[in-house]
């Protein structure tokens, strides 16, 4: 697909369940200063207890902060859950929804993911919607079917205008934390397929949609991945815990 102008690369770090006040201080301070000269959009998605620390250390910088999940409910008797409005209170801009670890370990179905997506949007957050196939699904030749099903579950509930407000991340489950990165061609194929599916319903939304790749992205493979026409940035796990690696990936955009 030919674009009239390159998209601004968006690189988000997903810390998962890592960090403590002391290590976060060093990491956030380094990312804040290292990202100052980067033109791209950068965000870090931190564990809930550290949102306040991210708010304090990143305010006024060009690094946004986000959460790794959000409740599908607006408020009420949901012990342990965190609402999108609470996240918004912190100046939190992003919430990851549908990460494969939530889907596989915590039972987040397509329906729940769509509800979380809507809850985030309604509270003024930008959802980062994760989709991706397992190794067994890839080997069974149903990657396209799985990813399109995950996309359509949200498209049906949210509508195309809402999808246009979001960020999508393609994260093949077999590439997450395994060191096995999808080849640029494999990733591009799925990204193009996602964009084509969105274009069937709304060409303008498809053209503007930021589709990130996630799964063992490192400074050494980021440039080639981000150079693919339909890869608009990355969602970075392990490498986002090392400031130089994360900033190296951001710079590759
Ligand atoms: P890794 O970069 O550690 O493979 O994790 C990817 C991921 O799950 C980001 O959300």
Residue 25 DSSP symbol: H
Ligand 1 binding pocket (C-beta < 6 A) is: 14, 99, 171, 176-177, 214-217, 235-239
Q: Which of 237, 241, 242 to mutate to test the pocket of ligand 1 (most atoms within 8 A of CB)?
A: 237
Burial class (CB in 10 A: 0-12, 13-18, 19+), 43: buried
Q: Which residue has the tokens 């986002």?
A: 240
User: Cβ of 53: how many Cβ atoms within 10 Å?
Assistant: 17
pLDDT the model gives residue 125 = 97
> ∠ CA(239), CA(165), CA(142), 5° rounding?
65
- How many angstroms does the Cα of residue 218 sit away from the middle of ligand 1? 10
- At 45, phi and psi to the nearest 5? -105, 110
Residue from 53, 87, 56, 57 nearest 69 by CA: 87
Q: Rounded to two decimals, what is the model's pTM?
A: 0.96
200 HSE (CA, 13 A, CB side): 9
Mutation to probe ligand 1, out of 235, 239, 240 (largest number of atoms < 8 A from CB): 235
The rounded distance, in Å, linking the Cα atoms of 61 and 11 is 15
**Where in the chain are the domains?**
10-214+232-242
The pLDDT of residue 6 is 55
Rounded Cα distance, 212 and 10, in Å: 7
Give me the average pLDDT of each 10-residue run along the chain (253 residues). 60 97 98 88 96 96 96 98 96 96 97 98 97 97 98 97 96 93 96 98 96 96 96 97 96 86
Tell me, what DSSP letter sits at residue 68?
Answer: S
Q: What is the pLDDT of residue 26?
A: 98
- Which residues are known to be catalytic? 99, 171
The tokens of 55 are what?
A: 């708010």
Q: Which CATH number fits domain 10-214+232-242: 3.90.180.10, 3.20.20.70, 3.40.50.300, 3.10.620.30?
A: 3.20.20.70
Residue 16: partners with Cβ closer than 8 Å, 6 or more residues away: 47, 68, 101, 237
Q: Which atom of ligand 1 is nearest to the CA of 238?
A: 3
Nearest CA to ligand 1 atom 7: 237
């Amino acid at each position: 697909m030919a674009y009239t102008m390159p998209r601004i690369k968006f690189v988000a770090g997903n810390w998962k369940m890592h960090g403590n006040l002391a290590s976060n201080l060093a990491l956030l301070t380094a990312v804040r200063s290292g990202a100052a000269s980067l033109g791209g959009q950068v965000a870090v998605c931190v564990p809930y207890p550290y949102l306040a620390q991210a708010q304090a250390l990143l305010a006024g910088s060009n690094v946004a902060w986000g959460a790794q999940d959000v409740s599908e409910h607006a408020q009420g008797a949901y012990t342990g859950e965190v609402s999108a409005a609470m996240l918004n209170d912190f100046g939190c801009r992003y919430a990851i929804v549908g990460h494969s670890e939530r889907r596989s370990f915590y039972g987040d179905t397509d329906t729940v993911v769509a509800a979380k997506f809507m809850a985030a949007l309604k509270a003024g957050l930008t959802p980062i919607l994760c989709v991706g196939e397992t190794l067994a699904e890839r080997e069974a030749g149903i990657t396209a079917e799985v990813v399109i099903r995950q996309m359509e579950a949200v498209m049906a509930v949210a509508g195309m205008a809402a999808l246009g407000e979001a960020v999508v991340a393609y994260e093949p489950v077999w590439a997450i934390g395994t060191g096995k990165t999808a080849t640029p061609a494999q990733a591009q194929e799925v990204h193009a397929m996602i964009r084509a599916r969105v274009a069937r319903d709304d060409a303008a939304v498809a053209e503007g949609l930021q589709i990130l790749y996630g799964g063992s992205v490192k400074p050494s493979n980021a440039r080639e991945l981000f150079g693919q026409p339909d890869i608009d940035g990355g969602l970075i796990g392990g490498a986002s815990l090392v400031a130089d690696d994360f900033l190296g990936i951001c710079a590759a955009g």
